[in-house]
Amino acid sequence: MGQTEGKTNIMDYDTVCLSDAGDAVVIIDQTKLPGQTRTIALRTAKEIWEAIYLLKVRGAPAIGVAAAYGIYVLSRQIQTEDYEEFACEFQRQKDYLDSARPTAVNLSWALNRMYEVVKAGAGTPVAQIRNELRREAERIQEEDILVCKRIGEYGLSLVKPGDGILTHCNAGKLAASRYGTATAPIYLGEERGYHFRVFADETRPLLQGARLTAFELMSAGVDVTLICDNMSASVMQKGWVDAVFVGCDRVAANGDTANKIGTSVVAAVAKLYGVPVYVCAPTATIDMETATGAKIRIEERPQEEVTEMWYENRMAPPGIKVYNPAFDVTDHALIAGIVTEYGVARAPYTESLREIVAEKNQRAKGCPDACGGPAGRISSEKGE
């Protein structure tokens, strides 16, 4: 699929959607940005797996939505009306997709949520289960949009008009269905005349900040300046940065967060210069089963991403050893707050994150006691 008719701005595109016929996941191929805006349709398990692994679709929320739609598309291809056979093949496909990227918790979260639909459908016709799978995938996307907007509202309460904001990697619209996570306060602020000055780290080695964040913020009319990763200390030292907003792919129970490689460096520098670091994290990324960041499995990627991708000629000597982790872990002591759709969690995170997860679970059960404001170590200056 090529560029879509009538769409002239990246903000007009859906990052992830289901095809009209329901037989394919349609994504923006982010490996082609910013030079070419191209959408592609994914129909097979291999195509969906490779799109996630090769970062054609990336960002924790977007990966979750793509996985949900993807497993629905694959469920349509399971040629049986026998429940046991259907469930067995569904689980096999789920486990395959789940292997694409180990660090982003939204991938397994979305796939497990879809699998619960299959388990709950035991004893009902397979055709009915397929219909419910589609509805569940659509709900996951709708919730993502609402969650990101609420994160934006809470994040906006932490800054003031005219502030300088630094962000790392891409936790924007291209990483979610709409708004993004770390960029949600920026987009809402732009709508309300806050006129933020944004600094976007280039984010080596895959340049998500340069190719994606700078591209989408500029397209939205935001005042954005691109800087190299090793320039963050310079702009903070000059007093140009009032807050750092980043996304994350997994939050441990103690508040340690795994995000794109280099995030921990930004956080350490910000701590030195007294700049607060806020991690924008949908509750789907909170992993209470993982005690600390040391327990988070960090994905390692091909060495060619460092030595030759983006270069006309190889820039490193042949045979050189390369270490290329996709993520690093930011210690909770460097984080001023974790912004969720239920409020801003503060230290000690073992308490505030537990409260947030409990509130989420209570609301899911329709408990009226959970509908009040967040309690304890959770602040809720703004939100919906």
Domain boundaries in the chain? 10-146, 154-379
Of 358, 159, 171, give the one whose Cα is nearest residue 257: 171
CA angle 98, 341, 239 (to 5 degrees): 105
Phi-psi domain of 366 (left: phi exceeds 0; alpha: psi -120 through 50; beta: other): left
Quickly name the fold that domain 10-146 has.
Four Helix Bundle (Hemerythrin (Met), subunit A) (1.20.120)
Q: Which tens digit of pLDDT belongs to each residue from 236-258?
A: 999 999 999 999 999 999 999 99
Q: What is the pTM of this model?
A: 0.89
Mean pLDDT of 283-287: 95
Model confidence at 376: pLDDT above 50:
no
Q: Are 56 and 33 in contact (CB under 8 A)?
A: no
**pLDDT per residue over 184-234, tens digit each?**
999 999 999 999 999 999 999 999 999 999 999 999 999 999 999 999 999
Q: Report, in angstroms and rounded to the nearest whole number, the Rg of the chain calculated over CA atoms.
A: 20
Q: What angle do CA 247, 253, 255 make, to 5 degrees?
A: 45
Q: Is the pLDDT of residue 375 over 80?
A: no
The yes-or-no verdict on residue 368 having pLDDT over 60 is no
Q: Please report the pLDDT score of residue 102 as a whole number.
A: 87
Evaluate if residue 371 carries a pLDDT over 60: no
Rounded Cα distance, 365 and 337, in Å: 27
- Amino acid identity at 125: P
* Superfamily of chain region 154-379: Translation initiation factor eif-2b; domain 2 (3.40.50.10470)
The set of catalytic residues is 249
Alpha helices per DSSP H over the chain:
45-53, 60-75, 83-98, 105-120, 126-156, 184-191, 208, 214-219, 232-237, 263-272, 304-307, 349-364
Look up residue 112 and give its two tokens: 């497990």
Secondary structure of residue 273 in the 3-state scheme: coil
Rounded CA-CA distance 174/5 in Å is 19
